[in-house]
Amino acid sequence: MDKLKMILAVFLMTAIFNGFGAEDIQAKSSDLVVVLDAGHGGYDFGASGSGLYEKILNLKIAQYCKSELEKYKGVKVYMTRSKDTYVGLDERVSIASGVKADVFVSIHINSAVTASATGAEVYYPNLNYRPSVGAKGRKLAGEIQKKLVALGLYNRGIKIRTSSGGTVYADNSAADYYAVIRGSKKAGFPGVIVEHAFISNPADVRSYLSSNVSLKALGVADAKGIAACYGLKKTGDTAETLTKTKLTKLTGQSSTSVSLGWSKVKGADGYEIYRSASKNGTFTKIATVKKAATVSYKDKSLAGGRTFYYKVRPYKMVSDKKIVAGFCAAQKVKLLKKPSIAVKNQSSTRTKVSWKAVPGALQYEVYRSTSEDGKYQKIASVQDVTSFKDTNRRANKSYYYKVRAVSKGVKGNNYSSYSVAQ
Ligand SMILES: [Zn+2]
């Protein structure tokens, strides 16, 4: 009987060890496990104000956060509650342990007696007992807070709160005050509490809590903070998904400036502009346009009458890293030299304006004004000649003339600077 018992015991123990072994293999999945904890719920309403209840807002923010986080690769998201139900604090941490959480993010709305209290703050674990858990939590708190502050929320900072009532960890060090932060640390993962805004502050409510759009912004900010902390990448966050652009316009604006335009690239955060003095020469970055919506640029103060080559490439930022697409085909622009003109009155009603041919010019525009610094009007556009006779003038009146050269650019005309008025 004893022998049989022993065999049975060995058999059972082997089975248990094998069982653990299998779970260990499962736990080795490289996915980051994030547990989102919508605070309060059920009969526990949390804070309230302006007709809003914290438990409802928390759940919405958590759901928006989950949807955003799930756009990233290598992450699994769980919720401690997905309905308006009561879940105890210890149970929340147990749920997280049960799914092998790497991190626990508790979502709350703040409240204060004074209506003026405002802004966002994030609580993270102290450095007692398991300092590496505290350090990880601190980093996460910082990243989430950064994203919330970027929405315009007042920065109350990231904080720790240690129990003053004698609650201690296994090593007798003072424990964290908040149960979910303490419980998470005991379970081996960092827990943070995000206090998004104040339900007791009418301005916070108006700007951040009173519409689904603003609640979504909070949830998305949390997700971006988590993603930044753990270096998560969105599906499609690679250079291959960023297509090249095309130059849609490249023209001389004057003898010394160039106007560029290019097609908008989906997903780009901005564009880099490169220039070279020769087609196969070295292209140098001359500007970075940091707005996704801006698809044009003016390059000024160039050497007059010279030829330049331009190319543009889009970029996007992924977790603070710049990803660039390939360059578009380089295009050339030849700047036209500024003409110099001579003006001769041939009779009281006829004036001849002449100039030296500008290399590359296809046309010349002649402008006239009755005062030197006044408004000039185009009176003629001429081709294949280097002079113009103005017969449409009155006697005893002085006129001033200017000429500029014109050629064809990429989708538009190249213009030289205006000649000095004569
Ligand atoms: Zn709360």
> Tokens 């050269």 appear where?
405
Half-sphere exposure of 156 (CA within 13 A, CB side): 17
Is the pLDDT score of 382 beyond 60?
A: yes
**What's the pLDDT at 323?**
86
How many whole angstroms from 31 Cα to the centroid of ligand 1?
Answer: 29
Structure-model confidence comparison of residues 242 and 130, the more confident one: 130
C-alpha 280/C-alpha 269 separation (Å) is 28
For residue 390, give both structure tokens: 């103005």
Predicted local confidence at residue 16, as pLDDT: 42
Q: How far is the CA of 198 from the centre of ligand 1 (A)?
A: 10
Residue 23: pLDDT band with limits 50, 70, 90 = very low
Q: Tell me the domains of the chain and their CATH numbers.
A: 28-230 (3.40.630.40), 239-334 (2.60.40.10), 341-415 (2.60.40.10)
Structure tokens at 383: 């081709």
Strand order in the sheet with 103-110: 75-79, 32-38, 103-110, 191-198, 120-123, 155-159
How much distance in Å is there from the Cα of 196 to the middle of ligand 1? 10
User: Helices (H) and strands (E) in the chain — how many of each?
Assistant: 7, 23
pLDDT given for residue 305 in this prediction = 82
Residues near ion ligand 1 (Cβ under 5 Å): 39, 46, 108
Return the biggest CA–CA distance within the chain.
137
Residue 114 predicted with pLDDT over 60: yes
Q: What is the pLDDT of residues 244-299, one digit of tens each?
A: 999 999 999 999 999 999 999 988 999 999 999 998 889 999 999 999 899 999 99
User: Cα(47) to centroid of ligand 1, in Å?
Assistant: 6
What is the reported pLDDT for 15?
A: 42
Read off the pLDDT of residues 92-103 as tens digits, 9 standing for 90 and up. 999 999 999 999
Instruction: Name the residue with higher pLDDT: 124 or 411.
Output: 124
pLDDT top residue among 233 and 158: 158
Backbone angles phi, psi at 107, to 5 degrees: -105, 120
Burial 238-268 (b: 16+ CB within 10 A, else e): eeeebebbebbbbbbbbbbbbbbbbeebeeb
Q: How far apart are the CA of 139 and the centre of ligand 1, in A? A: 22
